[in-house]
């Protein structure tokens, strides 16, 4: 017997991978996890008959000679199946896109690609083999890709994810159904909890990162907590969000983390708490621990584990072309033309930053026939400068709010460097 399995707490990408995996292994039997992620639960319930997954309990006493694993390469995440197969020594094949994880499945053949979704790997294999899909399977697979790529907004999205999605749509995938399955909050209690969590948000600046935290106690765990956290994260502008749910009846704390950038790796942050997941999305459970003390302990651990964020000092150009306020506007015009810039900081005779001169300022002087007037008469005196430790979000705010192309970096009036809009955009590209 050949079985197809995914990780425990199956999500949409895992389910999409298994559905396509069945085309590669038509003689295989799909086995569902005893836990299905709330986001994937509604899709599973609607297509339960079509999917025809057996339960892990049905493996007991079965003769299994091959296991195909999808969306994980970690033994602990498929233990629920292996527990029913204590004498299994057959072949294991893995299809997984978590290339940073180490494989602890002995003698497994690992098929790994750095795609945004694991389903993409299977889709491209089937496309190459010119396999024809049933439209319902194409829809389930496309939902998996959209879910794991954050609707193609995550940084791990690659060209292959788009290629696979295009092929799935050609196979009859329904975008209308995909959109329906990906609606985050479907239950009334989820909407209520969403607002309750929002009202308990605490904003902290830790090592230059904007971190939002929330602690919320409830009697019993309910489904869809990760969806609620995801929605909170969508509406809040933070580098990372951590919500701690104190579950009184179970006497445990559930921590769910989300991050916008690679430098805040929530999976690594939650690892000491027994958690795991992706760089951008992870969770942990602390059994036997609940209360404000857990929350305070987590903040302390978070502060120790966070790597300092990139600041204005890291992006700025320290050698800056400057204009003296005593120069004539004509001298400033010639200078800007020579260096090929549209503007430059202005310093006074003490070397302090006192203004900014742009081509627009020069144009005003030219229209008034005052090109020999001193720069200080026409320069922009209100300079939007920042400190050396200004965060990326602060720089972004400057560029968007004030519509400037350059931000001088200063300390106590002294010019230290300058960050341009190009510097900022280049950082966004490579981060």
Q: Is residue 124 located within the same domain as residue 198?
A: no
Query: Looking at residue 19, what is its pLDDT?
Result: 98
> 13 and 105: one domain?
yes
What integer pLDDT is reported at residue 376 of this predicted model? 95
Domain boundary among 149, 181, 213: 181
> Residue 405 — pLDDT band, cuts 50, 70, 90?
confident
Q: How far apart are CA 136 and CA 188, in angstroms?
A: 28
According to the model, what pLDDT value does residue 431 have?
64
Is residue 215 domain-shared with residue 344, that is, in the same domain? no
Compute the average pLDDT of residues 402-420: 90
> Does residue 184 carry a pLDDT above 70?
no
pLDDT-based confidence at residue 185 (cuts at 50, 70, 90): low
The per-residue pLDDT for range 90-111, each reduced to its tens digit, is 999 999 998 878 888 988 999 9
Query: What pLDDT shows up at residue 42?
Result: 84
In this predicted structure, what is the pLDDT of residue 101? 81
CA–CA separation, 13 vs 39, rounded Å?
11
| Closest by CA position to 238, among listed 264, 271, 272 | 264
Which distant-in-sequence residues (6+ apart) come within 8 Å of 77 by Cβ?
7, 8
Distance, C-alpha 111 to centroid of its chain: 24
Residue among 269, 295, 297, 264 at smallest CA distance from 284: 269
What's the pLDDT at 129?
A: 97
Q: What percent of the chain has pLDDT over 70?
A: 99
36 lies in the same domain as 114: yes
CA 335 to each of CA 329, 343, 350, 356: distance values in angstroms, whole numbers, following the listed order = 10, 10, 21, 14
Tell me the CATH number at 161: 3.90.1640.10
The model's pLDDT over 332-342, given as tens digits with 9 standing for 90+, comes to: 999 999 999 88
Q: What is the CATH number of the domain that holds 414?
A: 3.10.580.10
Q: Is 337 left (phi over 0), alpha (psi -120 to 50) or beta?
A: alpha
Q: Please check whether residues 25 and 114 belong to one and the same domain.
A: yes
Higher-pLDDT residue of 107 and 329 is 329
Region 357-372: mean pLDDT is 94
Answer whether 313's CB lies under 8 Å from 305's CB.
Answer: no
End-to-end CA distance of the chain: 46
Closest C-alpha among 142, 194, 186 to residue 165: 142
pLDDT score for 373: 96
Same domain for 328 and 290?
no
Q: Report pTM.
A: 0.64
Same domain, 176 and 34: yes
**Cα–Cα distance between 369 and 365 in angstroms, integer?**
6
Confidence label for 354 from pLDDT (cuts 50, 70 and 90): very high
Residue found under tokens 């559905």 = 19
Contacts of residue 223, defined as CB under 8 A and 6 or more positions apart, other chains included, come to 38, 41, 187
Single out the residue of 401, 209, 234 nearest to residue 309, CA to CA: 209
Taking a C-beta distance cutoff of 8 angstroms, is the pair 418, 408 a contact? yes
Domain termination site, one of 305, 327, 352: 305
Domain count, the chain: 3
Question: Would you state the pLDDT for residue 406?
Answer: 86
Specify the range with the lowest mean pLDDT, choosing from 164-168, 173-177, 178-182, 286-290.
178-182
Are 4 and 18 a contacting pair, CB within 8 Å?
A: yes
What distances in angstroms separate CA 294 from CA 255, 268, 289, 345, 397, one per listed residue?
10, 18, 7, 49, 34
Long-range CB pairs of 55-60 (<8 Å, 24+ gap) are 55/31, 56/31, 56/32, 56/80, 56/81, 56/84, 57/84, 58/31, 59/3, 59/31, 59/84, 59/85, 60/84
For residue 123, pLDDT beyond 90: yes
pLDDT digits (tens, 9 = 90+) for 262-317: 789 998 999 998 888 878 888 999 999 898 899 999 999 999 989 888 889 999 99
Indicate if 300 and 318 belong to the same structural domain. Answer: no
Asked if 156 and 16 sit in the same domain, the reply is yes
177 and 279 belong to one structural domain:
no
pLDDT at 425 over 80: yes
Residue 224 has pLDDT above 90, yes or no: no
69-89 tens-digit pLDDT: 999 999 989 999 999 999 898
What is the mean predicted confidence (pLDDT) over 336-360?
Answer: 93
Average pLDDT of the chain to the nearest whole number: 91
> Is residue 6 located within the same domain as residue 110?
yes
Same domain, 197 and 282: yes
pLDDT tens, position by position, 124-168: 999 999 999 999 999 999 999 999 998 898 778 999 999 999 999
pLDDT band at 321 (very low <50, low <70, confident <90, very high): very high
Q: Which domain holds residue 256?
A: 188-305
Residue 396's pLDDT is what? 87
CA distance 211 to 205: 6
**Banded pLDDT at 408 (limits 50, 70, 90):** very high
- Checking if the pLDDT of 37 tops 90, the result is no
**Domain end residue (candidates: 129, 155, 181):** 181
Question: Residue 309: its pLDDT value, please?
Answer: 86
């Amino acid at each position: 017997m050949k079985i197809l399995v995914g990780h425990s707490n199956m999500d949409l990408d895992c389910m999409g991978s298994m559905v396509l995996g069945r085309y590669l292994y038509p003689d295989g039997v799909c086995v569902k996890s005893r836990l299905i992620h709330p986001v994937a639960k509604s899709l599973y319930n609607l297509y339960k008959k079509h999917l025809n997954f057996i339960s892990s309990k049905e493996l007991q006493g079965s003769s299994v000679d091959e296991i195909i694993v999808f969306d994980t390469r970690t033994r602990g995440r498929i233990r629920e199946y292996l527990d029913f197969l204590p004498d299994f020594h057959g072949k294991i094949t893995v299809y997984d896109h978590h290339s940073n994880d180490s494989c602890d499945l002995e003698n497994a053949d690992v098929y790994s690609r750095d795609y945004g979704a694991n389903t993409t790997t299977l889709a491209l294999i089937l496309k190459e083999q010119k396999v024809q899909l049933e439209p319902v399977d194409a829809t389930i697979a496309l939902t998996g890709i959209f879910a794991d790529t954050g609707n193609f907004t995550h940084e791990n999205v690659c060209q292959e994810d788009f290629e696979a999605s295009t092929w799935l749509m050609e196979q009859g995938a329904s975008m209308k159904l995909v959109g329906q399955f990906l609606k985050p909050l479907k239950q009334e209690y989820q909407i209520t909890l969403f607002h309750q969590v929002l009202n308990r948000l605490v904003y902290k600046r830790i090592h230059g990162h904007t971190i939002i935290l929330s602690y919320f106690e409830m009697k019993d765990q309910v489904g869809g907590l990760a969806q609620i956290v995801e929605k909170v994260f969508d509406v809040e502008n933070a580098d990372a969000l951590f919500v701690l749910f104190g579950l009184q009846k179970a006497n445990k704390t559930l921590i769910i983390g989300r991050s916008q950038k690679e430098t805040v790796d929530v999976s690594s942050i939650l690892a000491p708490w027994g958690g795991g997941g992706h760089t951008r999305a992870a969770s942990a459970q602390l059994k036997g621990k609940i209360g404000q003390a857990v929350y305070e302990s987590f903040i302390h651990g978070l502060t120790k584990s966070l790597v300092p964020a990139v600041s204005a000092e890291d992006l700025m150009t320290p050698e800056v072309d400057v204009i003296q306020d005593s120069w004539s506007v004509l001298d400033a015009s010639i200078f800007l033309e020579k260096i090929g810039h549209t503007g430059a900081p202005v310093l006074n005779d003490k070397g302090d930053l006192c203004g900014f001169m742009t081509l627009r300022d020069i144009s005003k002087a030219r229209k008034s026939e005052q090109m020999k007037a001193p720069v200080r008469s026409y320069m922009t005196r209100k300079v939007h400068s920042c400190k050396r430790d200004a965060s990326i979000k602060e720089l972004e705010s400057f560029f968007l709010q004030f519509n400037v192309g350059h931000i001088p970096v200063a300390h106590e009036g002294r010019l230290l460097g300058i960050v341009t809009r190009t510097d900022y955009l280049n950082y966004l590209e490579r981060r």
